Amino acid sequence: MSVTAGRITGSTSDYLPELRLGIDNLRAHKLRSLLTMLGMIFGVAAVVAMLSIGAGAQQEVMSFIEQLGVRNLIVEARESADYQSLQKIRKISPGLTFQDFRVIKANLEGITASTARKRFTPTKMLPRPQSDVPVVYGVSPEYLTIANLRVASGRFFDERETEAGAPLAVLGEGAAASVFGADDPIGRYVKVNDQWFQVIGVAGPQLTVQSDVAGIPAQDRNNLIYVPLFAAIFRLEDGQSQYKDEIDGIYLQLQSSAGIPAGAALLRGLLNVSHGEAGDFAIVSPAELLAEQRRTQRIFEMVMVAIASISLLVGGIGIMNIMLASVMERTREIGVRRAIGAKKRDVIRQFLIETTIISLAGGVMGVIVGVGLSQLIGYLAGWSTIVTTTSIVLAFFVSVAIGLVFGLYPAARAANLDPVKALHYE
């Protein structure tokens, strides 16, 4: 090391020589520097990858909840799995009925749209679907507004056709592709159980999730067939329908999301009275679900960062060990610098510059590895991953901070060396 390069005057212009000196020192020990960076690289990569996977999963669920409508309230029937449990429930509750629907509409203020729902899973269907048999939803035209459903082609049935129980059907995007392939389904017919329905429309794509969400069963919402409510009840009722609720779902849209908590409480009270506290229904409030999901996401992110930060701590310990070894190797150099006028803070700054270089380089490479790793995991596992700016900045900042913190002790130890003893150190 030359005296000119090593002289520290404390001026801003001398930071560049110190930076060059730090880089030269690290380049002189390339393998050691790379191994030191590995802890930071893997730590940052773990933070970025884990947060991107978590963000992808949470975003999928939150988008699904938002699609349900933050001004909506949904009542889902909890139908009994066997006859014995059904008989037990029927002694207390008649199940979800049109009477419940009428009472709710009469007592709950601010309702702008509402519909009951009757759901069926066909036992047979023509033309035969290429994948899973679509589920039939019997609803009223107001379902379009409540579910924010878009008709991609054709039209939806109207109120008059619903009241008449007209044999009409609107296919979900997935159901149309499964039943008719690439052909245009408008005007064609599908046979559900023993009833023929004319296809008058195809719905646009809907978000879906692979697991139950707060009482809403997991279901491919693109693999649905929408028919008029009374067509479903009068044309598709079978021998097993007597063991089911009269209707199995109620959708309500309120004028404002501000009234959702009070509306949900009133709704629960009305149904508990008519159902004798049987607990055979679930009330889903997308607005409350969304708020809860956001809280869960924040907690999840903090936990993931805490877990991944363990790798960063290991990397920080690695930096400390290497820098302590570097202090021992460069004891005589430190003595020379102190002898020609360098102060303790100048020595501290020199070593902190080197730890910062290691942290910065490790952070940059870690971000690159983390982004690539998250995309690879998403591709191989079929998961949705989202690399957010927040995760990159957080991981990068934590890596640099840990590098600086763990570099302070070696730097202070170097600065506290006795110049006379350091000059005679062999």
CA distance 91 to 306: 52
Contact 168, 228 (CB under 8 A): yes
Per-residue burial over 53-89, b = 16 or more CB atoms within 10 Å of its CB, e = otherwise:
bbbbbbbbbbebbbebbbbbbbbbbbbbeeeeebeeb
How many residues does the structure list for the chain? 426
Backbone angles phi, psi at 418, to 5 degrees: -70, 120
Angle between helices 286-329 and 344-381 (to 10 degrees): 140
CA distance 140 to 148: 14
Contact 193, 122 (CB under 8 A): yes
Model pLDDT, residue 6: 42
Model pLDDT, residue 2: 38
Model pLDDT, residue 218: 63
Q: Helix, strand or coil for residue 76?
A: strand
Query: For each of the chain's 426 residues, which pLDDT tens digit applies?
Result: 433 334 434 444 556 666 776 677 777 677 777 777 787 788 788 878 877 877 776 776 666 666 677 788 888 888 776 677 777 777 888 888 899 899 999 998 888 999 999 988 888 899 899 888 999 999 999 999 888 888 999 999 999 999 999 999 999 999 999 999 888 999 999 999 889 999 999 998 887 655 555 556 666 788 999 999 999 988 887 655 556 778 888 999 888 877 788 888 888 899 888 888 887 788 887 777 777 767 777 777 777 777 767 767 777 787 787 777 777 777 777 777 777 777 777 777 777 887 888 888 888 888 888 888 888 887 787 777 778 787 788 777 877 787 778 878 777 777 777 666 656 555
